[in-house]
């Protein structure tokens, strides 16, 4: 069972710095969680992940369930040993797949709303998934076979995947879903949370895994606050005297919501439990999430961007495929200490990407993860130094300048 210690709070905000102690090591928070969807961080080895000083890796329950199957992963000792990662680990619940294969399927809806989403689409009907009070019935994207995820089966699968921290099964709704549906979904997620707690206690009486409850509620303040109160209050019930070990904040947001909806939730959640913002990894969102009281965040964006040739720099993003980089014999960013920048040039990466060489994805992923991991590390230090606001201002002015 994890232990969370708050070491510093930033006056006038919900921001805090601390340490999470797990069976496989400490996590200094705030911390960025590297995503290893199928027990692999795409294009990188476990040794490369360690060299980046990543603290924790998250794997995807849905994908590992379908391939190679949770039984195989269990025989390997869990997804950490399976991929040769021996630090702290997390698995999500599979709940987001109900969203991405259901209401969001084909609608251009993601966790960050852009204004281009298809609205008023029923969140219960999608091309590959259907949500009911029992769970989520979905078709495998691999072979079309039908499967049912329930709160109980999510706990059972995650138990076999063997992560230190796991998430309760939830329904992630579309940011365009109406209030009436969001309210119905919130009640469903709460009932699922109780079922997850019950099954988790049966599977893990020695508390080897820590269970995080997930707060939903869309973009409605009333529902977000209701969800935060109800999830936090589970710890006060006779059936679940210990409640959740931490909390995940799920759902879909606009960028403005990171500083509002997330703050509504964290102002009400138990202060002594860690909070994880699911699926967020843009620099602006990270600053806003920390200021709103989040301790952990995960996102595939750094490596996904890298595989497409988009690289983070302190002056914003650059697309290494652009012709202007083919003869620039300088690092991606001067002063960057990552392996890529200390050994290779923009010209070399441009060559790799323009030639469709696999090494390009590896070198770009190393750089982008280094950039985000160091950014969150610097944010943590700014909390201790009481320079957070100035650091945020200076960084964002450079990164997002026109």
Active site residues: 92, 298
Cβ-proximal residues to 386 (8 Å cutoff; 6+ apart), any chain: 10
Q: 187 in helix, strand or coil?
A: helix
Q: How many CB atoms lie within 10 A of CB 352?
A: 20
- Compute the CA torsion angle 289, 295, 301, 306 (nearest 10 deg): 120
The phi-psi region of residue 120 (left if phi > 0; otherwise alpha if psi is between -120 and 50; otherwise beta) is left
Q: How far apart are CA 226 and CA 235, in angstroms?
A: 15
Instruction: Determine the Cα–Cα distance for residues 399 and 314; give it in Å rounded to an integer.
Output: 5
**396 CB-contact burial (10 Å; exposed 0-12 / middle 13-18 / buried 19+):** middle
Burial 137-172 (b: 16+ CB within 10 A, else e): bbbeeeeeeebebbbbbbbbbbbbbbbbbbbbbbbb
CA distances from 93 to 22, 62, 174, 214, 282 (A): 19, 8, 17, 10, 22
Do 36 and 301 meet the contact criterion of CB atoms below 8 Å apart?
no
Place of tokens 């919130």: 186
Distances (CA, A) of 324 to 80, 142, 247, 314, 352: 41, 40, 45, 19, 15
Give the DSSP per-residue string, 248-276: EE-S-B-HHHHHHHHHHHHTTS-TTS-EE
Rounded CA-CA distance 161/167 in Å is 12
């Amino acid at each position: 069972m994890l232990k969370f210690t708050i070491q510093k709070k930033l006056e006038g905000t919900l921001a805090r710095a601390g340490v999470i102690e797990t069976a496989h090591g400490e996590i200094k928070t705030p911390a960025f969680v590297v995503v290893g969807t199928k027990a692999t961080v795409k294009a990188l080895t476990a040794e490369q992940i360690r060299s980046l000083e990543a603290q924790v890796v998250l794997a995807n329950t849905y994908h590992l369930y379908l391939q190679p199957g949770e039984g195989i992963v269990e025989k390997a000792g869990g997804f950490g040993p399976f991929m040769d990662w021996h630090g702290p680990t997390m698995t999500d619940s599979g709940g987001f797949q109900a969203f991405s294969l259901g209401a969001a399927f084909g609608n251009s809806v993601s966790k960050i709303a852009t204004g281009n989403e298809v609205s008023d689409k029923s969140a219960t009907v999608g091309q590959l998934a259907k949500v009911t009070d029992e769970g989520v019935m979905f078709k495998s994207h691999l072979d079309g076979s039908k499967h049912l995820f329930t709160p109980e089966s999510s706990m059972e699968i995650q138990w076999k995947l063997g992560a230190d921290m796991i998430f309760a099964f939830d329904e992630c709704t579309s940011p365009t879903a109406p209030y009436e549906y969001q309210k119905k979904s919130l009640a469903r997620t709460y009932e699922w949370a109780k079922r997850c707690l019950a099954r988790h206690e049966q599977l893990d009486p020695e508390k080897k895994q820590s269970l995080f409850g997930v707060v939903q509620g869309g973009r409605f303040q009333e529902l977000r606050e209701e969800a935060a109160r109800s999830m936090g209050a589970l710890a006060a019930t006779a059936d679940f005297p210990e409640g959740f070990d931490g909390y995940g904040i799920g759902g879909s947001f606009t960028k403005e919501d990171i500083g509002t909806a997330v703050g509504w939730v964290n102002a009400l959640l138990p202060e002594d439990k860690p909070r994880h913002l699911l699926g967020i990894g843009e620099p602006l969102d990270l600053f806003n999430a920390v200021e709103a009281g989040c301790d952990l965040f995960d996102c595939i964006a750094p490596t996904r961007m890298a595989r497409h040739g988009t690289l983070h720099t302190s002056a914003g993003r650059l697309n290494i495929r652009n012709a202007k980089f083919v003869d620039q014999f300088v690092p991606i960013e001067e002063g960057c200490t990552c392996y890529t920048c200390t050994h290779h040039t923009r010209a070399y990466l441009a060559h790799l990407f323009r030639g469709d060489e696999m090494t390009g994805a590896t070198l770009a992923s190393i750089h982008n993860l280094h950039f985000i991991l160091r950014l969150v590390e610097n944010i943590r230090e700014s909390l201790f130094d009481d320079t957070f606001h100035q650091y945020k201002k200076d960084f964002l002015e450079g990164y997002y300048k026109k």
